[in-house]
């Protein structure tokens, strides 16, 4: 049985906890992570107080999450405190990373702005951490490991955060999970509408209730094969009844309901 990959999300910023800004980053990260097969265990919003950010990070470390994603707090202001919080939670020092500084210099040059001493704060990192390239902004991200947990800190600006998450965090999930919700295995072109579907025990044939008929859809090959099984004679058109066709446990028969004759009865057919 495949182990569940656990993700925790921490959004930072006074503008979020004061209600001045809606945190769309967390919901987007949660959706991306879930579709990749991970399970998001907790989402936390904290203000620009280093102790609160440290507690949130320590909570994820205590639970031994596989991945903790932190957004916000990587800018040049004195209230951008994510790097300090990461260092305290990991018991390490804040350092200036030459690799991050090189990335920052290139970003400032591309944006035609000066690399001031204040902006150089964005090259700060945690001892032993790796900088993450920010192709659409200034501040590099941070990636580090504490025990079995990988921590990824990303800018809070969505247009910068999203491509960085997809490049640096999503592959970490994909290494140990399967892509569930967004993995299309078979696209079935349906010639008509069915209200309910049910798969046989070996998941090779679906039974569905069309407007007038029960239909079988063979999905065992690369192309779906469809055939009409029988007319179910329910008052589907007036929404008075639905068939809800269901396979028997051994796949030999199909049970469905029909209000033909004025009352609902159960019927069994053999495919």
Question: How does residue 67 score in pLDDT terms, banded at 50, 70 and 90?
Answer: very high
pLDDT of residue 52: 98
pLDDT tens across 71-81, in order? Answer: 999 999 999 99
Q: What is the arithmetic mean of pLDDT over 134-140?
A: 94
Two tokens, residue 250: 């051994």
Q: What is the arithmetic mean of pLDDT over 156-164?
A: 95
Is residue 51 pLDDT above 70, yes or no? Answer: yes
pLDDT tens across 240-270, in order? Answer: 567 889 999 888 999 988 887 778 888 899 9
d(C-alpha 65, C-alpha 119), whole Å: 32
pLDDT of residue 241: 64
The reported pTM is 0.67
Spatial CA neighbour of 62 closest among 155, 146, 166, 1:
146
Distances (CA, A) of 65 to 57, 59, 226: 10, 9, 46
Q: What percent of the chain has pLDDT over 70?
A: 90
The rounded mean pLDDT for the chain is 89
Two tokens, residue 86: 């990461």
Cβ atoms within 10 Å of 111's Cβ, excluding its own: 10
Does the structural domain 6-174 have CATH classification 3.40.980.10?
A: yes
Question: How does residue 226 score in pLDDT terms, banded at 50, 70 and 90?
Answer: confident
- Break the chain down into helix, strand, coil percent, rounded to 5: 30, 25, 45
Two tokens, residue 37: 């097969």
Distances (CA, A) of 168 to 8, 150, 175, 214: 16, 11, 12, 48
Is residue 193 pLDDT above 80, yes or no? Answer: no
Residue owning tokens 């600006």: 157
Cβ atoms within 10 Å of 39's Cβ, excluding its own: 12
Question: How does residue 28 score in pLDDT terms, banded at 50, 70 and 90?
Answer: very high
Is residue 174 pLDDT above 80, yes or no? Answer: yes
| Range list for CATH 3.40.980.10 in the chain | 6-174
Question: How does residue 219 score in pLDDT terms, banded at 50, 70 and 90?
Answer: confident
Where are any strands of DSSP class E within 63-181?
67-71, 94-96, 124-126, 130-132, 141-146, 149-154
pLDDT tens across 177-188, in order? Answer: 755 444 455 566
pLDDT tens across 228-242, in order? Answer: 888 887 875 554 567
Which segments of the chain does DSSP mark as H helices, in order? 14-17, 24-35, 50-62, 82-90, 98-110, 158-164, 170-174
Decide: 132 and 126 in contact? Cβ < 8 Å: no
Is residue 97 pLDDT above 90, yes or no? Answer: yes
Decide: 46 and 111 in contact? Cβ < 8 Å: no
């Amino acid at each position: 049985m495949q182990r569940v990959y656990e993700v925790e999300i921490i959004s930072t910023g006074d503008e979020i906890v004061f209600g001045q800004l809606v945190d769309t980053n967390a919901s987007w990260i949660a959706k991306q992570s879930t579709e990749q097969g991970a399970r998001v265990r907790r989402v936390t919003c904290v203000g620009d107080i280093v102790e609160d950010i440290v507690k949130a990070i320590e909570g994820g470390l205590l639970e031994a999450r596989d991945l903790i994603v932190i957004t916000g707090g990587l800018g040049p202001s004195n209230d951008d405190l994510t790097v300090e919080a990461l260092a305290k939670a990991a018991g390490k020092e804040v350092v200036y990373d030459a690799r991050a500084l090189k990335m920052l210099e290139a970003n400032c040059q591309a944006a035609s702005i000066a690399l001031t001493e204040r902006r150089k704060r964005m090259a700060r990192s945690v001892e032993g951490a790796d900088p993450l390239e920010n192709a659409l902004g200034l501040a590099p991200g941070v990636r580090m490991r504490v025990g079995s947990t990988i921590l990824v800190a990303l800018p809070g600006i969505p247009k910068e955060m999203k491509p960085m998450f997809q490049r640096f965090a999503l592959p970490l999930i994909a290494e140990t999970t399967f892509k569930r919700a967004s993995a299309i295995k078979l696209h079935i072109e349906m010639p008509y509408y069915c209200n309910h579907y049910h798969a046989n025990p070996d998941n090779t044939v679906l039974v569905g209730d069309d407007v007038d008929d029960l239909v079988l859809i063979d999905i065992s090959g690369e192309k779906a094969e469809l055939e009409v099984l029988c007319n179910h004679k329910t008052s589907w058109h007036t929404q008075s009844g639905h068939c809800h066709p269901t396979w028997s446990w051994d796949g030999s028969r199909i049970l469905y309901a029909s209000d033909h004759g004025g009352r609902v009865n159960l019927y069994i057919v053999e495919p």
